[in-house]
Amino acid sequence: MFIEHTELRIKKKYGKHSQQFKEWKTDTTSEYDNYFAYRFLYQLRNYTQHSGLPIGSISRQLVQNNGEEEKVLKTFFVRDGLLENDFKWKKLQKELEQLPEKFLFLDIVNEFNRCMAQLYQSALSQIAKDLSSSIEKYLNLLSSHKIDSLPFLYKFKSHTDRYNPENYIQVQPLPTQKEMVDCLTDLHEFKVIELNLN
C-alpha cells in the first residue's frame, strides 16, 4: 500500500512525466529487480487474495544464551506448498522452484523492510526540495513578522472588524519555528537534504 499511495501522490503533485515521478519509478523498479523479498512479497499479496494464506512451517529449538536455555521459534515458508496450487507466480515461478524446501519468513521480512526504508528515503528525496523551499519561505515569513510564539491562521467573517473574537470563523494553529527546523533536521539526518548546521 505504501508504494501505491506514494506513487499516486508523486504523480498527482508533479505529473506522470515529471522528473520526480521518473526517479521514483526508477527506484521502485531497481528495488523490485534486485531483491527477491520485494518480488516475492509483492506477488504473495496477490497469492493470499486468490489462494488463501501461504502454507508455512514452525520449528522450535532450545538454544544456549549466556549459559541459559531459551526457546526459539522459527517460521518458514514452504516452497512446495506455495507452488502446488494454480496460482500464477509469473517470472517468480523459476526463482521459487530453486529455493530450499523451507525458507525463513524473518529473512524475507528483513530484506523487504530494508527495501521499504530505501524507497521511503527515495520518496522523501522527491519532495525534499519543494518542502525545504516552502519551510524556508515560512520561516522567513515568521521572522519578518517577529513571531516567536505559536503562530495562528485566522479566518474572519468580515475583514472590517478583525479584532472582534466573534468575527472569527476559524482559528488554526500553525507549526512553530522550532517544529520547522526539526523537520529540516530530520530530512538532513535521512540524508535527503544538505544543511549547514554550523
The alpha carbon of residue 119 and the mean position of all alpha carbons in its chain are separated, in whole angstroms, by: 7
- Domain membership of residue 28 (yes or no) is yes
Q: Could you tell me whether strands 168-173 and 152-156 are parallel, antiparallel, or unpaired per DSSP bridges?
A: antiparallel
Query: How many Cβ atoms sit within 10 Å of the Cβ of residue 90?
Result: 10
Q: Provide the residue range defining the domain that includes 81.
A: 2-189
- Domain membership of residue 82 (yes or no) is yes
Q: What integer pLDDT is reported at residue 197 of this predicted model?
A: 58
CA distance 47 to 97: 16
Instruction: Give per-residue pLDDT as tens, 71-127.
Output: 888 999 999 999 988 899 999 999 999 999 999 999 999 999 999 999 998 898 888
- Domain membership of residue 195 (yes or no) is no
CA 134 to each of CA 57, 73, 127, 139, 180: distance values in angstroms, whole numbers, following the listed order: 51, 49, 11, 9, 10
CA distance 110 to 95: 19
Name the domain count of the chain: 1
Assign 26 a pLDDT band (cuts: 50, 70, 90).
very high
- Domain membership of residue 184 (yes or no) is yes
- Domain membership of residue 198 (yes or no) is no
Q: What integer pLDDT is reported at residue 127 of this predicted model?
A: 82
The percentage of the chain sitting over the pLDDT mark of 70, rounded to a whole number, equals 98
- Domain membership of residue 93 (yes or no) is yes
Q: What integer pLDDT is reported at residue 16 of this predicted model?
A: 94
Residue among 143, 108, 133 at smallest CA distance from 184: 133
- Domain membership of residue 45 (yes or no) is yes
More confident residue, 123 or 148: 123
Residues 24-34, mean pLDDT to the nearest whole number: 96
- Domain membership of residue 21 (yes or no) is yes
Q: What integer pLDDT is reported at residue 192 of this predicted model?
A: 79
Residues 134-150, mean pLDDT to the nearest whole number: 85
The answer to whether the pTM exceeds 0.75 is no
